[in-house]
Amino acid sequence: MTDTLKLSYYCPGDDFDRAGEASAKVKKALQRLGVPPDVVRRVAIGTYEAELNVIIHAGGGTVTAEVSGESTLITVSDEGKGIPDIQAALQEGFSTAPEYARQMGFGAGMGLPNMMKCSDEFNIESTVGKGTVITMRFCHRSEDL
């Protein structure tokens, strides 16, 4: 595979029931493309964490996957409220998740640390009042969590 395949999904922020649909599609696509199973699993987990975050914290956003022979690049962006203190948000246990999300089993402040753990390269940019962009690169050499 020499070309890069690009997939993009919009995740509406008002419907928590739909959180995970984009990640599930990305996962299916990578499986079809023959990406190693352990890498697919790491991409799926990282993308799902980011997708949950844009739905819970940012009122929706976009999930984009760019798949080449060597790696998968996931970009999850939103135009939500942004993160005032990124270093604090990256710490395990930091969460501003609303009560409804906690009742659904989320809001432990583990998502961003997990994205860093799952991906080979992780970057976050956020501006208060403008939004947040997360990029994660996953190399296609097989390596489990």
Partner 1 sequence: MKLRQVQQLLGARVLCGERWLDTKEVATCFGSNMMSKVLARGKRQTILCTGLTNVQVIRTANMTELCAVVFVEDKLPKASVTEEAESWGLPLLATPLPLEDVCRLLDEAGLPSCDKGRAP
Ligand X SMILES: Nc1ncnc2c1ncn2[C@@H]1O[C@H](COP(=O)(O)OP(=O)(O)OP(=O)(O)O)[C@@H](O)[C@H]1O
Q: Would you count residue 27 as binding ligand X (CB under 6 A)?
A: no
125 is annotated as an active-site residue: no
Q: Residue 145: helix, strand or coil by DSSP? A: coil
Which listed option, ligand X, partner 1, Mg ion, none, makes contact with residue 138 (CB within 5 to 8 Å by class)? none
Count helices and strands in the chain by DSSP H and E runs: 5, 5
Q: Which residue has the tokens 């604090």?
A: 88
List the one residue out of 106, 63, 107, 64 whose CA is nearest residue 89: 107
Minimal distance, residue 129 CB to partner 1, in Å: 27
Under DSSP, the state recorded for 4 is P
- Contact positions with Mg ion (CB under 5 A) in 74-113: 111
CB of 31 to Mg ion, least distance (A): 24
- Residue 18: active-site member: no
Q: How far is the CB of 112 from partner 1 (least distance, A)?
A: 11
Q: Is 49 a catalytic residue?
A: yes
Interaction pattern, residues 58-97, with ligand X; x per rule: CB under 6 A: x-------------------x-xxxx-----x----xxxx
Stretch that binds ligand X, among 11-19, 28-36, 64-72, 105-113 (CB under 6 A): 105-113
Q: How far is the CB of 13 from Mg ion (least distance, A)?
A: 14
Q: Measured between alpha carbons, how far is 89 from 69 in angstroms, rounded to an integer?
A: 33
- Spell 55-90 as b/e; 16+ CB within 10 A means b: bbbbebbbbbbbbeeebbbbbbbbbbbbbeeeeebb
- Under the rule (CB under 5 A), what is the footprint of Mg ion? 53, 111
Positions annotated as catalytic residues are 49, 53, 102
